[in-house]
């Protein structure tokens, strides 16, 4: 039943995020998503049911979900038909009776349509068609392109995702494969993601891929690769097991049950991070390890960005600065340039760029600016020089393990760093994170 619900109360349709207030919603949290997807590749047709198990943070006479352009069949709240309005990327739902503060409730949405990316200042983001298949790249606002959700990084939930599609295609979802049912022409894949996961890190990959083992070890490492790229892939990603061993040594236990690398049979501008998964384009595979720094960068995001998720997008340097500095550490360990040499080189390049960006709060227009990545890594290198390796590496490991599967802020990191250093670092962080001017590089 489609009917007109009254407008949401103040804050119901906003997360309050200072950068992306229109994504995410107030008044409740999602604890679990159950997504049942039937995808037809040729016509790009998705028929789906989403069931969200939520917890009310306050009395709710209505609630709002982020959701793209689909035709809705019905909306239920706790099994009963609910009134709703769907417009402007928001699904406003009014249950038959108010939901009490602290109560658990379930919202079911049945929908069908042609999934397409969300238009944003960073381009089209979300569910996208490949030449032969599909991929999902949702950071930061693309999740509503394929399921109704509370699209904010701080609202992390568990997932169960079922995908039914044509049998010749391999399906990879950010989760552990728990079952697979083959029929004559269709295969049903069922994945579970038990760890708390933000919406933007959930992903579906569909293509004509070979399933290959990347390396043996305590963490299952697998690849989904076009057959024509299998040989160069095995060289380009041949050191993935060694990377995993080093990052576990530096940052503590790997946060998830598996790690999957997907190589799409199309070109991509940049690799894509997802929970327990990284997605590369065919252009990132050449058999010469040209893009190996990106391989380790995306793996590092499993700790920094995925397990430790920013409480809001102001803190994006905590994702990208750590992943970039991991590139430099890997270079040194694998026989390339030292972290010190790379820091000096990038410091010189950053000096030539405008100094109009604060790393701790770069602004929405510049949250993916190269300077956030490189100056974030330079901040970590300067901190390492300030406190010494005997403090720096235990600090970073504690940061990753103490906040495992949580949400984090810059203030939490600086407080932990001061605790490990045994001194105030307020002046240091003010210079490196809060001031637009690039400080001198220690030890240069």
83-117 pLDDT tens trace: 999 999 999 999 999 999 999 999 999 999 999 99
> CA torsion angle for 410, 299, 204, 26 (degrees, to 10)?
-10
**Tell me, what CATH number does 115's domain have?**
2.60.40.1730
294 and 320 together in one domain: no
105-163, pLDDT tens digit by residue? Answer: 999 999 999 999 998 898 899 999 999 999 999 999 999 999 999 999 999 999 999 99
Query: Do 179 and 32 belong together in one domain?
Result: yes
In this prediction, residue 288 carries a pLDDT of 96
Give pLDDT tens digits for 419-435.
Answer: 999 999 999 999 999 99
Find the domain containing 260 and state its range: 209-302
User: What kind and span of H or E run contains 410?
Assistant: helix 410-421
**One domain, residues 91 and 232:** no
Q: Are residues 288 and 397 in the same domain?
A: no
Q: Cβ(169)–Cβ(206) under 8 Å?
A: yes
Number of domains into which the chain is organized: 3
**Same domain for 107 and 21:** yes
Please indicate, yes or no, whether residues 164 and 217 belong to a single structural domain of this protein.
Answer: no
**387 shares a domain with 298:** no
pLDDT tens sequence across 48-63: 999 999 999 999 999 9
Read off the pLDDT of each residue in 22-35 and give the average, rounded to a whole number: 95
Q: Quote the CA–CA distance of 290 and 293 in Å, as a whole number.
A: 8
Tell me, yes or no, whether 187 and 213 share the same domain.
no
Q: Which of 207, 229, 260 marks a domain boundary?
A: 207
Please report, for the domain that includes residue 261, its CATH number.
3.30.2010.30
Output the pTM of the full model.
Answer: 0.95
Burial, 61: exposed, middle or buried (Cβ in 10 Å; 0-12, 13-18, 19+)? Answer: middle
CA 92 to chain centre: 25
- Asked, for residue 314, whether it belongs to a domain, the answer is yes
Q: What is the pLDDT of residue 4?
A: 28
Counting every residue written for the chain, the total comes to: 444
First CA to last CA across the chain, in angstroms?
68
The percentage of the chain sitting over the pLDDT mark of 90, rounded to a whole number, equals: 92
Does residue 118 share a domain with residue 214? no
pLDDT 10s digits, 347-374:
999 999 999 999 999 999 999 999 999 9
What average pLDDT does range 68-90 have in this prediction? 96
Neighbours of 70 (CB within 10 A): 23
pLDDT at 9 over 70: no
pLDDT category at 11 given cuts 50, 70, 90 is low
SS3 428: helix
Q: Which of 241, 269, 302 is the last residue of a domain?
A: 302
Residue 441 in domain:
no
pLDDT of res. 6? 32
**pLDDT at site 7:** 31
List b or e across 155-170, with b for residues whose CB sees 16 or more CB atoms inside 10 angstroms.
Answer: bbbbbbbbbbbbeebb
Whether the predicted pLDDT of 386 surpasses 60: yes
Whether 442 is in a domain gets the answer no
Residues 281 and 327 in one domain: no
């Amino acid at each position: 039943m489609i009917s007109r619900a009254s407008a949401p109360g103040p804050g119901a349709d906003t997360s309050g995020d200072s950068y992306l207030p229109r994504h995410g919603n107030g008044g409740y949290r999602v604890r679990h998503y159950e997504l049942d997807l039937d995808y037809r590749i040729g016509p790009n047709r998705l028929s789906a049911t989403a069931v969200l198990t939520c917890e009310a943070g306050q009395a709710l006479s209505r609630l709002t979900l982020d959701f793209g352009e689909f035709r809705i069949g019905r909306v239920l709240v706790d099994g009963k038909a609910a009134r709703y309005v769907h417009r402007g990327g928001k699904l406003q739902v009014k249950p038959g009776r108010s939901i009490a503060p602290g109560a658990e409730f379930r919202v079911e949405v049945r929908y069908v349509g042609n999934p397409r990316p969300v238009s944003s200042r960073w381009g089209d983001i979300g569910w996208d068609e490949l030449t032969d298949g599909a991929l999902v790249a949702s950071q930061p606002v693309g999740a509503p392109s394929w399921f109704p959700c509370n699209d904010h990084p701080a609202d992390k939930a568990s997932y169960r995702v079922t995908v039914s599609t044509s049998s010749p295609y391999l399906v990879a979802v950010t989760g552990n494969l728990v079952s697979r049912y083959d029929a004559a022409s269709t295969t049903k894949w069922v994945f579970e993601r038990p760890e708390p996961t933000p919406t933007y890190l959930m992903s579906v990959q569909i293509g004509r891929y070979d399933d290959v083992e990347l390396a043996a070890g305590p963490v299952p490492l697998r690849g989904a690769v076009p057959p024509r790229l299998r040989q160069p892939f095995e060289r380009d990603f041949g050191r993935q097991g060694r990377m995993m061993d080093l990052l576990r040594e530096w940052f503590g236990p790997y946060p998830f049950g598996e790690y999957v690398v997907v190589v799409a049979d199309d070109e991509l501008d940049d690799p894509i991070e997802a929970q327990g998964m990284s997605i590369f384009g065919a252009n990132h595979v050449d058999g010469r390890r040209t893009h190996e720094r990106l391989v380790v960068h995306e793996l590092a995001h499993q700790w920094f960005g995925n397990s430790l998720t920013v409480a809001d997008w102001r803190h994006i340097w905590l994702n990208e600065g750590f992943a970039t500095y991991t590139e430099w550490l890997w270079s040194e360990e694998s026989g390339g340039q030292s972290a010190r040499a790379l820091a000096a080189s990038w410091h010189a390049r950053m000096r030539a760029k405008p100094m109009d960006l604060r790393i701790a709060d770069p602004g929405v227009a510049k949250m993916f600016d190269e300077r956030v990545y490189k100056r974030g890594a330079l901040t970590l290198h300067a901190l390492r020089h300030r406190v010494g390796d005997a403090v720096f590496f235990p600090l970073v490991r504690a940061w990753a393990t103490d906040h495992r599967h949580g949400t984090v802020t810059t203030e939490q990191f600086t407080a932990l760093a001061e605790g490990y250093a045994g001194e105030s670092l307020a002046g240091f962080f003010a210079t490196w994170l809060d001031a637009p001017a690039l400080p001198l590089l220690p030890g240069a």
